Structure 1
Amino acid sequence: MRLLSRCLSVLSLLSLLSLAACGSGPKAPDWQMEAKTAMERAVAAYLEGNSRVEAQEFARARSELSSTGRSDLMARAELLRCASRVASLVLEPCAGFEPLRPDAPAAERAYADYLAGQLQPQDMALLPAPQRAAAAAGADAAALKAISDPLSQLVAAGVMFRAGRASPAVLQQAVDTASGQGWRRPLLAWLGVQLQLAEKGADTEAAARLRRRIALTQNPAAGSKP
């Protein structure tokens, strides 16, 4: 399984655990290392389309975090899980976070509202820098492309889509990002949106091309010769 390779990739989304593993300080406690690894694997598995592994790894991360008794860390883990779903256009309530909301820091509450498309303007400054820039830019595909972290970029695109502000350029950027990372689940989701638009616009050539690409992504054997 491809792990998310940089300390500033997924974990930077919420500064999840302030992990010493990304620095040169004292050795991090075992729970911290285990939680970091499990969260990385959970998010990677989800984006690659492996729900079984994602559930197993997230349960492991929750177990490690619960040993600290810190609701703020658990809230961040739940938000990270929900962010991977927004990136894949699974636009459902972040159910795991809501029971933790009363004890969550203001930044985590703002991020939850952002994922739900309910961010208050006065809370924009509480967002992580990549999401803050994207939120301020509205539906600007160039601002989306300027986000260096692929998952943060897809999360921002998902929020734009949820708000009805995802232009064709935003859709294409999301497709390119998911494809470049080899993330099957969000790739299929964003290709599906493009297909709907092509069918709505009666663009039969584009629709046929998108169906072939979707079929290939779902089943690698679809592109092989008999």
Structure 2
Amino acid sequence: MKTLNIALSAMAMAALAACSSGPPVPDWKMNAQSSIERFEAAYLNGSALVEQTEFQRARAQVGSTGKIDLIARVELLRCATRVASLVFEDCTGFEALRADATPADRAYADYLAGKVQPADIALLPEAQRAVAAASSDTAASTAVATVTDPLSQLVAAGVLLRASRATPALLDTAVSTASDQGWRRPLLAWLGVQRLRAEQAGDQQAAQRIGRRMDIVEKSGKPL
């Protein structure tokens, strides 16, 4: 039996093994977990309608508990998928609930926005701490490369790009991760950054090669 760990950890709602002799897992936990997994996958694959539907289901399931801090965490998960895909917008859903969020969640929201305070780095999910504490762009890029969870890795990379700290190696890591996972939305976003940098460097051959790759990815998301 699995139960939902409603806690922000490595940008995922983790399923923890539970003793079979323990109490039944509430339906809302299982339903919320399933919807969270589906809305994350849908967004990363570019399915906006499915993402919206599953997000609302997850929020409703968690909302049935009346626990505002848990709703805030679901909002953070949604915002994290956007940062991973280089959609840098205000996390308005979380901000509306900030007053009732935990200190760790507030720190994470600040991290996603690129303004986490040094004193709050210890409150971040473990996968993000070394990235946030890195003293140089190169060190931060290296820290991102060591993150094993794909979504957490892309979130960290997105935070660095938002802060204008993205090295060529970081872009390579992000593109490779998004490609390996088959996540169209972040892959197109990161390839777009690579193409722009190639154009700015005057490397038209590289820019055209990246453009051809983007065209293939875009076409893969269209109905046959």
Shared topology, TM-score over 0.5?
yes
How do residues 23-102 of structure 1 correspond to structure 2 at under 5 angstroms? 23-25=17-19, 26=22, 27-102=24-99
2:164 and 2:153 map into 1 onto residues whose CA distance is: 17
Could you tell me which runs of 5 or more consecutive residues in structure 2 were left unpaired when the two chains were aligned. none
2:179 and 2:151 map into 1 onto residues whose CA distance is: 12
1:100 and 1:84 map into 2 onto residues whose CA distance is: 19
Given the alignment of the two structures, is residue 157 of structure 1 paired with residue 196 of structure 2, yes or no? no
AA paired with 1:199? E
Over the residues paired in the alignment, what is the CA RMSD in angstroms?
2.0
3-state SS in 1 of match to 2:66: coil
2:172 and 2:25 map into 1 onto residues whose CA distance is: 40
Query: Shift of residue 133 of structure 1?
Result: 1.4
Cα deviation 1:75-131 (Å, max 9, x = unaligned):
000000000000000000001000100010100000000000010111010001011
AA paired with 2:95? E
Moved more, 24-33 or 118-127: 24-33
Cα deviation 1:9-60 (Å, max 9, x = unaligned):
x9633574xx6x5212333210000000000000000000000000000000
Identity %: 56
Normalising to structure 2: TM-score of the pair? 0.90
AA paired with 1:90? V
2:212 and 2:12 map into 1 onto residues whose CA distance is: 39
Query: Shift of residue 145 of structure 1?
Result: 1.0
Kept in 1, the 8 Å contact 2:11–2:152? The answer is no
1:104 and 1:11 map into 2 onto residues whose CA distance is: 12
AA paired with 1:113? D
AA paired with 2:83? V
How do residues 75-224 of structure 1 correspond to structure 2 at under 5 angstroms? 75-137=72-134, 138-139=136-137, 140=139, 141-220=141-220
Kept in 2, the 8 Å contact 1:13–1:80? The answer is no
1:120 and 1:12 map into 2 onto residues whose CA distance is: 19
1:15 and 1:43 map into 2 onto residues whose CA distance is: 9
Higher strand share: 2
Kept in 2, the 8 Å contact 1:14–1:76? The answer is no
1:169 and 1:135 map into 2 onto residues whose CA distance is: 17
Could you tell me which runs of 5 or more consecutive residues in structure 1 were left unpaired when the two chains were aligned. 1-6
3-state SS in 1 of match to 2:151: helix
Kept in 1, the 8 Å contact 2:8–2:73? The answer is no
